[in-house]
Amino acid sequence: MDKSYKQFLVVAELSNISLAANHLGLSQPTLTNNMKKLEASFGVPLFIRKSKGVELTEYGVLLQEQTLELQRRHDSLLHKMADLIERKTEKIKMGTGDAWWEVFVKQALQQYSVSNPSISIQLEFGNHLKLMDMLIHGQIDLFVGHEIVGLSRRCNVTFIPLLQDKEAMFVHQNHPLLVNHREEEDMALYPLLQVTPDSEAYLHLIENPQPKQLERDRQKVSERIVYEINSLTASVDMLTSTTAIMPYPMSMTDYFSQVNIVPLPLKKEGQKGTVGIYHLNELLVDHVADIKQKLILNGHYQA
């Protein structure tokens, strides 16, 4: 993609030419001049200059949307070209959250690989915003995770709901809240353990940040010790050796019981969420469509 478009995207995201210049390793006058040339090439203003930065005009918003789409298609082309070079055009590239792997994705993928032993598999684990970023840049073809509330309309994706899940608060069976029969209002006194939390690097995918902020307020994130861990295995280790409390899908209760981790008995029902499959809003190749259907069948069976 043309360097002026790449520079434009950074300016649009940061809303500040000085910060964008720093990020790009350019001088501010150079970047300002490049943006003026870009505006001149279209014959319309792309930015409204303000005292503390810049704001996109309606022309700028249109260019941002189209340039992001162009970037996504370019990234997708590069990945598909690499696959073709490696003679691996029939390859399942998918992502999932750790919980859904254990609940139904593992079984679906195992069944599919038995029926299709010649197809390669690339599996990515992580937070749903990270996986969404990989999806729109063509690094994976689909992923299973919670529906992303407030997702930007610029993400040209389809969401297929599979099941509803409730959030539970998991602790080790010897946790003080269980042993001493403390009130659930005391939960905020203990560390909060967040498995694969949202990263600031992907927050640009969220158009409406309010639901995410309300969730942080509900968990009193700013008032307590927080352990942020990008591994379910490491999170379980921390849970068994500390007094931390881990919000996680209720569906994992049986899995955690094997290592003496249990949900707290709470008066209020946990937050509900929809789990499903995300893929780009375009025609899927046959082998990706096949694994999608297998996931739908297994997901609905768990519902």
Phi, psi (5° rounding) for residue 119?
Answer: -95, 130
pLDDT for the residue numbered 72: 85
Task: Give the chain's mean pLDDT.
Answer: 89
Whether the per-residue pLDDT at 88 is higher than 60: the answer is no
Domains located in the chain, CATH noted: 3-77 (1.10.10.10), 91-302 (3.40.190.290)
Per-residue pLDDT reduced to its tens digit, 219-260? 887 888 999 999 999 999 999 999 999 999 999 999 999 999
Distance CA(154)–CA(161), nearest Å, equals 20
More confident residue, 28 or 181: 28
Q: Would the CA dihedral through 237, 240, 243, 244 be positive or negative?
A: positive
pLDDT band at 42 (very low <50, low <70, confident <90, very high): very high
117-155: per-residue pLDDT in tens?
888 899 999 999 999 999 999 899 999 999 998 899 889
pLDDT of residue 117: 86
Predicted pLDDT of residue 87:
47
pLDDT per position as a tens digit, 142-196: 999 999 988 998 899 999 999 999 999 999 999 999 987 766 678 888 999 999 9
* Cβ contact 191:227 at 8 Å: yes
